Structure 1
Amino acid sequence: MNLSFLNSIADFLSSAIAILFAISIHEFGHAFVAHLNGDDTAKNMGRMTINPIHHIDILGMLMMFIVRFGWAKPVPVNPYNYKNEKLGNITVSLAGIFMNLVSAIVFALINKYSNTESISLVSSSLVIYNVAFAAFNILPIPPLDGWSFISTFLPTDIVNKMYEYSRFSFIFIFILIATNTLGKVLYPIYNVFLKLVYLFVW
């Protein structure tokens, strides 16, 4: 009997687990650091959690399966509640990426010392998708984290103008995907992040 289909099922399940975790820990990071900075908007809306149900964007999740780069439902924040607005913007913007990379380090260590095939399969997927999610979100395209970080240092009129056009950002991203440009931009970032992760493992 050919049981090769079981490998496909195992790969799908490990990818699903990894995607759900990467999305959830990323958005939890934003919500938790916003809370530390004095803004409880996300916490009061039930978003300071690693429960993926509260964070899933269906299209963004599908893109994670298809191209390994995607997005979640953004965590709502109110920068005016921050104790220090500039510091809050910087730390909250980078919190999701930081949580993904720390998670990738943890799962890379688990993968290194695991002798169980199923654990190795899931942990390696968790490394891949956490690093991929961090790489995608660092792009300086609104409303991604890279843009949120950069906008802290830009004049208000430029930031407001960019946010007016942010609703077209995903169209721009789809064009990048269709022309295979997104991969060319992201894979160098992905490889840098992956090398950073394994600095803590080896």
Structure 2
Amino acid sequence: MLTLWPELDSRDCVAMELSVIQKIAIWILPLLFAITLHEVAHGWVASYFGDQTARLSGRLSLNPIKHIDPFGTVIMPLMLLLLTQFQFAFGWAKPVPVDMRNLNHPRRDMALVALAGPMANVLMALFWGAMMKVGMLSYDGGNFWLGVPLMYMGNAGVMINIVLGVLNLVPLPPLDGGKIMMSLVPPHVAFRLSLVIEPYGFLILILLLVTGILSSVISPFVYLLVNLINNLYGLY
């Protein structure tokens, strides 16, 4: 799942109005890496703990095409971005198949498999924060042609990955946080939750999103992590 919040200006001195084509060019690479590595991380960890379903189905590839859902990854996010002037988007990628029965310790290992995706996004956010820092140093050194794109793309990469990581930790099936919760509660409780909540999880998520509740819940965590990355690299 994916929700994008408004861009943060990388630096006041380079803040400028970008064309639609420029915005798409800035966002597309971080977005593709975010969804691809998120899904591959699930498959890698599942493979490590004994389930080879993702590997045998060819889903451990870093090729974004193997993870793209034409409607959920491309059409819907792009449509929403254009309609909201790049203020909001929602979408999803094809989930990597994981067969819990093949895991060495199914309940424990499933929680770690679910956690792998958000953790991959946090690591990518750190990477994009470093790229933003490189862009700032290049800009200060007079290399505007390199500094400005890296600053904007780094900023987009940090925001995309932090939002994707935090959103997926919400304890609501079918999000990763829901799978972690299912692995932590007693089996009989997990079974009941899967029957009562999981079939309606996507609709509940949409409702929370439309009402603004989801934004209120995850925004403090998003900006906490963004500020930590900013402070780590001295971005502001």
Normalised by the length of structure 2, the TM-score is 0.76
- Native 8 Å contact 1:68 1:129 kept in 2: no
Corresponding residue number in structure 2 for 1:33: 45
Q: Distance in 1 between matches of 2:230 and 2:45?
A: 25
Q: Distance in 2 between matches of 1:163 and 1:135?
A: 22
- Native 8 Å contact 2:129 2:233 kept in 1: yes
Q: Distance in 2 between matches of 1:5 and 1:113?
A: 22
Q: Distance in 2 between matches of 1:70 and 1:159?
A: 26
**Long gaps (5+) in structure 1:** none
Corresponding residue number in structure 2 for 1:72: 93
> Which letter does structure 2 place at the counterpart of 1:173?
L
- Offset at residue 160 of structure 1 (A): 2.1
Is 1:128 matched up with 2:140? no
SS of equivalent residue, structure 1 residue 14: helix
Deviations 1:143-162 (A, max 9, x none): 11111111111122222222
Q: Distance in 1 between matches of 2:231 and 2:158?
A: 13
**Long gaps (5+) in structure 2:** 1-15, 82-87, 139-145
Corresponding residue number in structure 2 for 1:170: 202
Moved over 6 A (4+): none
> Which letter does structure 2 place at the counterpart of 1:73?
K
> Which letter does structure 2 place at the counterpart of 1:44?
L
Corresponding residue number in structure 2 for 1:97: 118
* Aligned residue-pair number: 199
> Which letter does structure 1 place at the counterpart of 2:66?
H
> Which letter does structure 1 place at the counterpart of 2:216?
K
Q: Distance in 2 between matches of 1:135 and 1:70?
A: 15
Is 1:59 matched up with 2:46? no
- Offset at residue 10 of structure 1 (A): 0.9
Based on CA coordinates, which of the two structures has the bigger radius of gyration?
Answer: 2
Inter-CA distance 38–199: structure 2 relative to 1 (3 Å threshold)? farther
- Native 8 Å contact 2:37 2:62 kept in 1: yes
Q: Distance in 2 between matches of 1:199 and 1:72?
A: 31
Q: Distance in 2 between matches of 1:11 and 1:21?
A: 16
Is 1:137 matched up with 2:168? yes
Inter-CA distance 63–189: structure 2 relative to 1 (3 Å threshold)? farther
- Native 8 Å contact 2:131 2:154 kept in 1: yes
- Offset at residue 108 of structure 1 (A): 0.4
SS of equivalent residue, structure 1 residue 152: helix
- Offset at residue 60 of structure 1 (A): 5.6
> Which letter does structure 1 place at the counterpart of 2:205?
I
Q: Distance in 2 between matches of 1:40 and 1:158?
A: 28
- Offset at residue 6 of structure 1 (A): 5.9
> Which letter does structure 1 place at the counterpart of 2:116?
A
Across the aligned residues of Structure 1 and Structure 2, the Cα RMSD in angstroms comes to: 2.3
> Which letter does structure 1 place at the counterpart of 2:200?
F
Inter-CA distance 54–10: structure 2 relative to 1 (3 Å threshold)? same
Q: 1:18 aligns with which of 30, 43, 47?
A: 30
Corresponding residue number in structure 2 for 1:197: 229
Q: Distance in 1 between matches of 2:227 and 2:178?
A: 23
- Offset at residue 196 of structure 1 (A): 4.0
Corresponding residue number in structure 1 for 2:213: 181
- Offset at residue 100 of structure 1 (A): 0.5
- Native 8 Å contact 1:69 1:133 kept in 2: no
